[in-house]
Amino acid sequence: IMHYEESSFAIDRYKPTIVPLKKNVNIGQRIGMSQLDIVQLQRFYGCPERKLVPVITKDTVSINCTFDAGYCGWTHIFMDPPVKQNTWIRWYGETDTEGTGPRTDHTFGTFEGHYLYTEASARFLTIAKIQTPELMPGDHCLIFWYHMYGQDMGSVRVNLLDGKRTNTLMIISGDQGNKWKEMKISLTAPSKSKIEFVSIIGYHEKSDIGIDDVLLLDGKC
C-alpha cells in the first residue's frame, strides 16, 4: 500500500491538498500504513485483527500522555535571553530533515500518530522545556519513549521540580539509533512537584529529538 499523504503537495502541511473519500480516515505514505490499511490487510490475509490503540478525541489534563489528542495540559516554559529558545512541537509522520528524527510515532507505529519533538534545523544549541501537571506525592515509576537519531545529536534531560529546586533524574546524550527506546526512572515526588523534559539541540541540523507515550505509575520501577 503506497500513496501520497494528504499534504504531499502543500506548502503548509496543515492545509491538505488530497482529501480521502472515506470520512474520518487518514491516507498513507511510503513511511508506513494507516490503521485502516492495517485492518484491511489483516482481513485480506485472514489474520486475527489486532486491536488498535484508541485515540482520545478530547485533550485532557494528565501526566500520562500519548500526544494524539493534544498536549494533555503540559506547560511550555519560555526562557529569557541569552538562552536560545526552542519549543517542543506536537507532530506526526517524519520530521522535515533527512537523517534525523522519527518517521512514525511510538503509540501506533504509523505516520498518523502524534509525538513531541524539537526541530534542529537553524536552531543549533537551542533549549526547549515542557512541564507536566503536578504529581501526587510519593514513589512513582516514570516511563517514556524517546527517539534520538542523528550524527549531530544533543541531549535530553529529565528533571523533577520541587518549588525552586531542580533534581536531575536522567540525562540521555548522543545518537541512540533510528528507533524509539524506552526509559524507566524511579522517583520520589514531594508535594506540588512536576516533571520537566528539557531538549538541548546539538551543533548541526541532524539533531531532532522526540518523546512519546509518557506514563507515571504508582510505586518505584
Do 12 and 105 reside in the same domain of the chain?
Answer: no
Do 26 and 81 reside in the same domain of the chain?
Answer: no
Do 199 and 135 reside in the same domain of the chain?
Answer: yes
Asked, for residue 64, whether it belongs to a domain, the answer is: no
Virtual torsion, Cα 42, 44, 48, 50, nearest 10 deg: 20
pLDDT at site 7: 60
- Structurally, the chain folds into a number of domains equal to 2
Phi, psi of 12 (to 5 degrees): -105, 115
Do 211 and 142 reside in the same domain of the chain?
Answer: yes
Each residue's pLDDT tens digit, 113-132: 999 999 999 889 999 999 99
Do 124 and 159 reside in the same domain of the chain?
Answer: yes
Asked, for residue 63, whether it belongs to a domain, the answer is: no
Asked, for residue 65, whether it belongs to a domain, the answer is: no
Closest CA to 195 of 208, 204, 185, 180: 185
Do 108 and 176 reside in the same domain of the chain?
Answer: yes
Which domain CATH number covers 83?
A: 2.60.120.200
Do 84 and 177 reside in the same domain of the chain?
Answer: yes
d(CA 79, CA 86) in angstroms, rounded, equals 9
d(CA 160, CA 37) in angstroms, rounded, equals 41
Number of Cβ atoms within 10 Å of the Cβ of 10:
13
Asked, for residue 57, whether it belongs to a domain, the answer is: no
Do 21 and 103 reside in the same domain of the chain?
Answer: no
Each residue's pLDDT tens digit, 171-198: 999 999 999 999 999 999 999 999 999 9
Each residue's pLDDT tens digit, 24-53: 555 555 445 555 666 667 777 877 755 444
Q: Is the pTM of this model over 0.85?
A: no
Do 126 and 46 reside in the same domain of the chain?
Answer: no
Task: Give Cα separations from 160 to 61, 137, 139, 185, 220 (angstroms).
Answer: 18, 12, 12, 11, 15
Contact 141, 216 (CB under 8 A): yes
Asked, for residue 60, whether it belongs to a domain, the answer is: no
Asked, for residue 88, whether it belongs to a domain, the answer is: yes
Do 122 and 13 reside in the same domain of the chain?
Answer: no
3-state secondary structure 128-161: EEEECCCCCCEEEEEEEEEEECCCCCCEEEEEEE
Domain interval for residue 84? 75-218
Do 104 and 209 reside in the same domain of the chain?
Answer: yes
Each residue's pLDDT tens digit, 65-86: 999 989 999 999 999 989 999 9
Task: Kindly report the average pLDDT of the chain as a whole number.
Answer: 85
Phi, psi of 39 (to 5 degrees): -65, -45
Asked, for residue 67, whether it belongs to a domain, the answer is: no
Do 11 and 118 reside in the same domain of the chain?
Answer: no
